[in-house]
Amino acid sequence: MSSKSERSSAAAASLGRGHRFINAAMRTLYFGRVPVLDLSRSEPADRDASPPVDPVSRQRPRLIISSHRNGAIDGHQVLAAFPHAQFLISIQLVRSWFLRLFIAGIPVVRPKDVERYHLDPSSATSPVEAGCAHLRRGGDLGVFPESSSEWGHRPQSYRPGAARMACTLIDEGVDVEVVPVGLFYSTPDRFRSRAEVVRGRSVTIPARNGRDFSGWEDAVASAMGSALDEVSVDCPDAQTFARIQAEALDVARTSSDRGATFAGAFLDMQRKRRSEEVTDAAHVDADVSRSTTAPGPGTSLLRWFGLVLMWLFAPILAAASFAGARADGRNTVTFFRLLGGFAAVMVWVPVLIVAAFFWPLVIGIGIVSAICGWLLLGLRRFRL
């Protein structure tokens, strides 16, 4: 009976299979395989993610604190490393049946949502309380301490909510693990560009040592922020960020080590900048001028050829492009494209299924051509 209760609790604390499948499909179709660089492992050569752990067999809850770089799509990347994780989401994201098809999480009703949607004031939920309740059930909880995303050279200010959750649970005797996660995109708004995840070592939570709750929370928040900075984009200025971004992309494209990742190269170079190992600014600028971040004529031609090969799915690509053009910032383009593309898939794929009964050869050729185009856009040497 106890085992059945534990399994029921774990199931309630895990993201559903349907949403895990949809999120994985959208993530893979847009970016391709999302590598996970796991710095928490003892062996430095291990660069891939650990196999997913069954939430039923793992009793220790995990609070996943992640950088926030590319709007709502960031949650898809966190799920590449923690496929069972849940997220706190605004109630507005699940009020639409369309958004509920591929967005799931723990809905939080904020005071402003009560007024906006004329809800019962008693339904207002504190994000900290909702997050703690999920973690008490043994689930994985993803949190973005920056609150909102921005494509910049360093993190925005971290909010204290994650630290408050950790302190509250530890104070109750709950053994919660805090895991920092960095998200990296070579070109956040381009189809089939690189998206990678870095999982850092678990945060060492400072002991309370007689401090009042507020002082302890500040110390925990500082420890979390430092751990997150170590696995995230954290450059002193935009120029340094652009240089490191260009150099890391070159390494990922041209390195003879097939395991070399864009995120790993970025972090290595970022650490070198911090330790002032690279001091000749003129030399660095000269290197950047030779970087391949900006696509050359050959790369642009190859991308266009790859897109042409996907002619069978032109309506989906067109809908995604149209939606992306309506985004209000570079960090939201991908999410808008996925919304538009997903809506088009719901219409165009049934049309193709019907057409396959009448013109099976044409549809078959179109599917093979589209696969070739998708693979071509993901070639390591030319990928953006």
Angle at which helix 314-324 crosses helix 333-358, to 10 degrees, equals: 160
Q: Sign of the CA dihedral 109, 110, 112, 115?
A: positive
- As a whole number of angstroms, the distance between CA 76 and CA 84 comes to 11
Residues 6+ apart with CB under 8 A from 89: 103, 104, 105, 106, 107, 108
Residue with tokens 């002991």: 207
pLDDT in the model for residue 275: 77
pLDDT in the model for residue 79: 92
Cα of 213 vs its chain's centroid, Å: 32
- As a whole number of angstroms, the distance between CA 305 and CA 178 comes to 45
pLDDT in the model for residue 14: 67
- Tokens standing for residue 358: 């009448």
> Is-contact 195 334, C-beta < 8 A?
no
Residue with tokens 């991308």: 303
Kindly state the DSSP code that residue 184 receives in the 8-state scheme.
Answer: E
Domains in the chain, CATH or no CATH each: 2-234 (3.40.1130.10), 239-289 (no CATH), 297-377 (no CATH)
pLDDT in the model for residue 122: 65
pLDDT in the model for residue 60: 84
- As a whole number of angstroms, the distance between CA 159 and CA 145 comes to 5
Cα angle 332-86-344, degrees, rounded to a multiple of 5: 45
> Is-contact 199 179, C-beta < 8 A?
yes
> Is-contact 180 193, C-beta < 8 A?
no
Phi, psi torsion values for 243, nearest 5 degrees: -65, -50
What is the chain's pLDDT, residue by residue, as a tens digit (384 residues)?
Answer: 444 444 444 445 667 788 888 888 999 999 999 999 999 874 433 334 444 444 444 568 999 999 999 988 899 999 999 998 999 887 777 777 887 887 888 887 777 777 777 777 666 678 888 899 999 998 899 999 997 888 989 999 999 999 999 999 999 999 999 999 999 999 988 999 999 999 999 999 999 888 999 999 999 999 999 999 999 999 999 999 999 999 999 898 887 676 778 999 999 999 988 776 544 444 444 344 334 445 566 678 888 999 999 999 999 999 999 999 999 888 899 999 999 999 999 999 999 999 999 999 999 999 999 999 999 998 887 787
Kindly state the DSSP code that residue 54 receives in the 8-state scheme.
Answer: P
Cα angle 231-237-243, degrees, rounded to a multiple of 5: 75
pLDDT in the model for residue 3: 46
- As a whole number of angstroms, the distance between CA 218 and CA 162 comes to 11
Alpha carbon distances (Å) from 367 to 301, 337, 352: 21, 21, 10
pLDDT in the model for residue 145: 92
> Is-contact 141 127, C-beta < 8 A?
no
Tell me which amino acid residue 380 is.
R
pLDDT in the model for residue 59: 66
pLDDT in the model for residue 52: 47
Q: State the Cα torsion 333-334-339-341 to the nearest 10°.
A: 110
pTM comes to 0.84
